[in-house]
């Protein structure tokens, strides 16, 4: 892939698809030349065309669950890492391989698989709880979720195989398998986002998997005598009920102190408050907070304090003189950076998610501190390109879109950096908020700095232990053409990491990027 630009990849796919269509046409012509279905098989089909509705329901359910679980896991993992191909290719491969393993008469040790599967479900449920508390890295989550998906898919598909009809009904059988797989996709992609305001798909799929395992003990009979014995003693139903209640409690607890929650294509936006602060979460990531006290409501909190890279960026520009600043911000959050706004300053916020805009305006008041603030809803890269023709360069351009949600890689390519430089004045600053528990984006900044002949420093916030300031640890990358900016920084207030201390470079372009290069 690194050796093919996007345009050539498109051409290669186009040619390959044409070849596929040619061979498909040949197969269709070959089949049409056949005499048709033998008379004895046709008579059999006509005699026994009606099947119990329960049978259809079983086929659809057993085929829908693995599809539902696969897409739920991909959806969930993609909340923390940019959805690169390997991220969805691994679950998809597990899902497809499970058909190969499961569609046979005997599977070695299958009588223990359902028991093992239930154990994995229990572990995954605990992982979900502790993961919510931030104890698991992304690769650990992938391992647990992949194992759960693999076992559940094999058990479901083997039970599906056991439910197969006689040979002449296989057309209906495979048609309903396809319908079940499509149903799982429709539920995750279209139905659940409208039914639920949170990402409940994983919990639903885990509970459904428990019920499938229970159904499997009945279907397998003597083959699963170990599990059947558990079922007769009501031990298994008790486990399933307990785990289901645990999942429900986990979901309810995760919405404790929530005053607003909504979900759209971009994820779940949630506003939570306690006695002193109000917080905005997008997925699992904190996107800002505000003090509820009127005296401190415009004091910048979390990643944007006076001791952060954001505070340093404003200090460096204000040192040049008391003139109005023109500031661009990619990623609105709660609008905390508007707390730095002074009279006649002009702020432009770029935000792709309308729900974030609604929450920032309705539940937070930072934007009221800056009457000249303008919000542009849409993709920031496209909006920046439209601004290239306007003769209003920014003094500072903040990019705050990389905290933890699906990382917009197209905002970190060398072409994107060139566009940012073109809308800055000669002494302008680029400020990247790169705090991220899964990705180390400093090498990307270093590569861009070297290619565009910029100066780069990283700012690691030291002021995180002053509880009254409600400050979060943060790392910012500052880039500029003006090499004099970074000479006399007070390092008692700011921890500065020089460009030479960044060990490697990662060059991303619009044609190629690899998220694995920056995975921690």
Nearest-angstrom CA–CA distance, 284 and 295: 29
| pLDDT over 60 at 230, yes or no | no
pLDDT at 381: 93
51-254 and 267-518, same CATH topology = no
State the pLDDT at residue 42. 52
Q: What is the CATH number of domain 267-518?
A: 3.40.50.150
Q: Give the list of residues 6+ apart from residue 289 with CB closer than 8 angstroms, or none.
A: 277, 278, 279, 280, 301, 302, 334, 470
pLDDT at 235 over 70: no
Hey, which bits of 307-423 come out as E strands? 326-330, 346-351, 374-377, 394-399
CA distances from 414 to 411, 419, 455, 520 (A): 9, 9, 15, 22
State the pLDDT at residue 284: 75
Higher pLDDT residue, 6 or 70? 70
What's the pLDDT tens digit per position in 374-423? 999 999 999 998 888 777 899 999 999 887 656 789 999 999 999 999 99
pLDDT of residue 502: 93
pLDDT band at 222; cut points 50, 70, 90: very low
From 284, 261, 262, select the one nearest 194 (Cα to Cα): 262
In sequence order, the 6+-apart residues with CB closer than 8 A to the CB of 229 are none
**pLDDT (mean) for 218-234:** 54
Coil, strand, or helix at residue 500?
helix
Domain 51-254: assigned CATH number: 1.20.1250
Strand partners, 326: 346
Q: Who wins on pLDDT, 353 or 217? A: 353
Q: Which two tokens stand for residue 241?
A: 């009920």
pLDDT at 67 over 90: yes
> Does residue 246 surpass a pLDDT of 80?
no
Q: What is the mean pLDDT of the chain?
A: 83
Cα 346 to Cα 363: distance, rounded to the nearest angstrom: 22
Residue 465: pLDDT band with limits 50, 70, 90: low
Per-residue pLDDT of 304-351, as tens digits, reads: 988 899 999 999 888 877 789 999 999 999 999 999 999 899 999 999
* Segments making up each domain of the chain, as ranges: 51-254, 267-518
* Among 242-256, 281-295, 397-411, 417-431, the least confident range: 242-256
User: Strand pairing of 374-377 and 285-291?
Assistant: unpaired
Band of pLDDT at residue 178, cut at 50, 70 and 90: very high
User: What is the per-residue pLDDT for 402?
Assistant: 85
- Total-model pTM: 0.79
SS3 per residue for 100-156: HHHCCCCCCCHHHHHHHHHHHHHHHHHHHHHHHCCCCCHHHHHHHHHHHHHHHHHHH
> What is the pLDDT at residue 133?
46
What was the pLDDT predicted at 225?
Answer: 53
Q: Report the pLDDT averaged over residues 30-57.
A: 66
Which two three-digit tokens encode residue 199? Answer: 């990402």
Least confident range of 65-74, 114-123, 425-434: 114-123
Top-confidence range, 71-80, 170-179, 469-478 = 170-179
| 3-state helix, strand and coil shares in percent for the chain, rounded to the nearest 5 | 55, 15, 30
Distances (CA, A) of 302 to 217, 354, 469: 51, 22, 8
pLDDT in tens, 88-142: 788 999 999 999 999 988 877 666 666 676 677 767 766 666 655 455 666 777 8
Within 333-373, strands assigned E span 346-351
The rounded distance, in Å, linking the Cα atoms of 465 and 453 is 36
Q: What is the pLDDT of residue 291?
A: 92
Q: How confident is the model at residue 54 (pLDDT cuts 50, 70, 90)?
A: confident
pLDDT band for position 223 (cuts 50, 70, 90): very low
Of the two residues 303 and 198, the one the predictor is more confident about is 303
Give helix 414-422 / helix 380-387 axis angle, nearest 10°: 40
User: Number of C-alpha atoms within 13 angstroms, CB side, residue 303?
Assistant: 28
The percent of residues above 90 in pLDDT, for the chain, comes to: 40
Percent of the chain with pLDDT over 70: 80
Give the mean pLDDT of 168-178: 90
Residue 447 clears pLDDT 90, i.e. is over it: yes
Tell me the two tokens of residue 511. 């044609």
């Amino acid at each position: 892939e690194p050796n093919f630009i996007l345009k050539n990849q498109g051409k290669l796919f186009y040619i390959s698809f044409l070849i596929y269509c040619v061979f498909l046409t040949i197969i269709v012509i070959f089949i049409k030349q056949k005499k048709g279905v033998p008379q004895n098989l046709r008579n059999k089909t006509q005699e026994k065309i009606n099947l119990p509705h329960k049978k259809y329901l079983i086929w659809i359910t057993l085929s829908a669950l693995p599809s539902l679980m696969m897409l739920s896991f991909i959806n969930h993992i993609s909340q923390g890492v940019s959805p690169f191909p390997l991220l969805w290719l691994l679950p998809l491969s597990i899902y497809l391989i499970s058909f190969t393993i499961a569609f046979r008469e005997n599977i070695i040790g299958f009588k223990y698989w359902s028991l093992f599967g239930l154990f994995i479900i229990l572990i995954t449920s605990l992982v979900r709880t502790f993961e919510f508390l931030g104890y698991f890295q992304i690769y650990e989550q992938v391992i647990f979720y992949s194992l759960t998906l693999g076992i559940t898919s094999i058990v479901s598909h083997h039970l599906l195989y056991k439910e197969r009809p006689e040979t002449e009904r296989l057309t209906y059988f495979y048609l309903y398998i396809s319908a079940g797989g499509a149903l799982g996709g429709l539920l995750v992609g279209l139905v659940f986002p409208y039914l639920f305001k949170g990402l409940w798909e994983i919990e639903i799929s885990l509970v459904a998997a428990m019920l499938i395992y229970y159904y499997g003990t009945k279907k397998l009979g003597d083959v699963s005598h170990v599990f059947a014995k558990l079922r007769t003693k009501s031990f298994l139903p008790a486990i399933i009920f307990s785990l289901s209640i645990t999942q429900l409690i986990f979901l309810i607890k995760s919405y404790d102190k929530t005053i607003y929650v909504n979900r759209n294509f971009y994820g779940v936006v949630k506003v939570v408050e306690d006695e002193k602060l109000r917080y905005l979460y997008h997925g699992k990531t904190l996107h800002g907070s505000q003090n509820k006290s009127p005296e401190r409501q415009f004091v910048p909190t979390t990643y944007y304090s006076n001791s952060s890279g954001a505070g340093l960026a404003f200090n460096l520009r204000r040192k040049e003189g008391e003139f109005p600043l023109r500031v661009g911000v990619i990623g609105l959050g709660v609008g905390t950076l508007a707390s730095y706004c002074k009279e006649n300053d002009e702020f432009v916020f770029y935000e792709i998610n309308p729900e974030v805009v609604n929450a920032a305006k309705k539940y937070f008041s930072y934007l009221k501190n800056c009457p000249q603030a303008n919000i542009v809803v849409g993709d920031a890269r496209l909006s920046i390109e439209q601004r290239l023709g306007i003769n209003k360069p920014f003094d500072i351009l903040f990019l705050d879109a990389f905290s933890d949600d699906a990382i917009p890689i197209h905002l970190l390519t060398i072409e994107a950096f060139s566009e940012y430089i073109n809308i800055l004045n000669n002494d302008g600053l680029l400020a990247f908020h790169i705090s991220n528990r899964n990705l180390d984006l400093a090498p990307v900044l270093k590569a861009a700095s070297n290619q565009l002949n910029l100066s780069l420093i990283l700012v690691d916030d030291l002021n995180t232990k002053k509880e009254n300031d409600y400050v979060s640890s943060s790392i910012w990358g500052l880039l500029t053409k003006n090499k004099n900016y970074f000479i006399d920084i007070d390092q008692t207030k700011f921890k500065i990491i020089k460009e030479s201390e960044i060990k490697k470079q990662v060059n991303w372009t619009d044609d190629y990027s690899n998220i694995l290069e920056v995975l921690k």
